[in-house]
Amino acid sequence: MAELQRQYLKEMGIDVWQRRELAAAELPQQPVAVAQASESAAIIANSEPSIASTADVSTMEWGTLQRAVSACERCSLHSTRTQAVFGIGNQQASLLVVGEAPGGDEDRQGEPFVGRAGQLLNEMLRAIGLKRGEVYIANILKCRPPNNRDPKVDEVSRCGPYLKRQIALVQPAAVLAVGRIAAQNLLKSGERIGALRGREHQLPGTKIPLIATYHPAYLLRSPIEKRKAWQDLQQVRALITDKT
């Protein structure tokens, strides 16, 4: 194993010397409420909110879009947020990272992935040679759900046009969906994250390849899964190397 790769794995917290005897299929799986999972798999494309027109969002440029998100009252989350969390990074990035929704740290600071999960996300990106500032990072929801509960279908649907426009503006070579909520909603799938990761998808309605992987917050709780995340990240690396 090359020294550089060993270093990357170390940054991700993967112990390269430790043998893992347990096959992936034998590892304990997280319980999944399937009904809730498919309910939360709301559609981003072609599912515009019924009471709020999204026609303008689809043509907005960055500044207007960001102001629209800051002032957004399309769903009830606006009344509990400190601020909306728009997204951050390189607007011409090859890689777009999509997470679930702001947590407490993000709600306070106004930037996605700034807490402990964000630190790990930064390390994951570094592991494939990318600095945080080189990618674009956004979430399915722009506002924090109270107590970090799962996003509701209606919230995802109303917020969806913002992310859809961000994707259209960035035009990334690849999308990395981190976690079940991001993967299911982007892919319009009710499948569990363990089934969605490990293969290349296409973002519906586009030609953009999408890789799903575990959420860094989950990896903090289940570090044994970092090896699989590393495999996913290598797929991402190959995609953006191919296309840039």
Q: Give the shortest CB-119-to-ligand URA separation in angstroms.
A: 11
- Cα torsion 124, 126, 132, 137 to 10°: value is -30
Q: Is 87 in the site for ligand URA (CB under 6 A)?
A: no
Q: Is 145 in the site for ligand URA (CB under 6 A)?
A: no
Q: In this complex, which beta carbon is closest to ligand URA, that of residue 122 or of residue 235?
A: 122
> Do 56 and 82 touch, CB atoms closer than 8 A?
no
Exactly one of 113, 136, 162, 214 binds ligand URA (CB under 6 A); that residue is: 113
The residue with tokens 């997470």 is 99
The arrangement of strands across the sheet holding 136-139 comes to 88-89, 136-139, 95-99, 174-178, 209-213, 200-202
Exactly one of 14, 65, 97, 106 binds ligand URA (CB under 6 A); that residue is: 106
Closest by CA position to 125, among listed 169, 159, 88: 88
Instruction: Say whether 30 sits in a helix, a strand or coil.
Output: coil
Binding mask 5-44 for ligand URA (x = CB under 6 A): ----------------------------------------
Q: Is 99 in the site for ligand URA (CB under 6 A)?
A: yes
Question: DSSP strand E in the chain: where?
Answer: 88-89, 95-99, 136-139, 174-178, 200-202, 209-213
Exactly one of 139, 166, 189, 235 binds ligand URA (CB under 6 A); that residue is: 139
- Candidates 6-14, 21-29, 101-109, 163-171: pick the segment binding ligand URA (CB under 6 A): 101-109
Q: Annotate 165-217 with DSSP letters as a single string.
A: HHHHHH--SEEEEESHHHHHHHHT----HHHHTTSEEE-TTS--EEEEE--HH
- Candidates 21-29, 50-58, 106-114, 167-175: pick the segment binding ligand URA (CB under 6 A): 106-114
Q: Is 89 in the site for ligand URA (CB under 6 A)?
A: no
Q: What is the bridge-based pairing of β-strands 136-139 and 88-89? A: antiparallel
Binding mask 177-206 for ligand URA (x = CB under 6 A): --x---------------------------
- Candidates 3-11, 99-107, 183-191, 221-229: pick the segment binding ligand URA (CB under 6 A): 99-107
Please report, as ranges, the residues that interact with ligand URA according to CB under 6 A: 99-103, 106, 112-113, 117, 139, 179
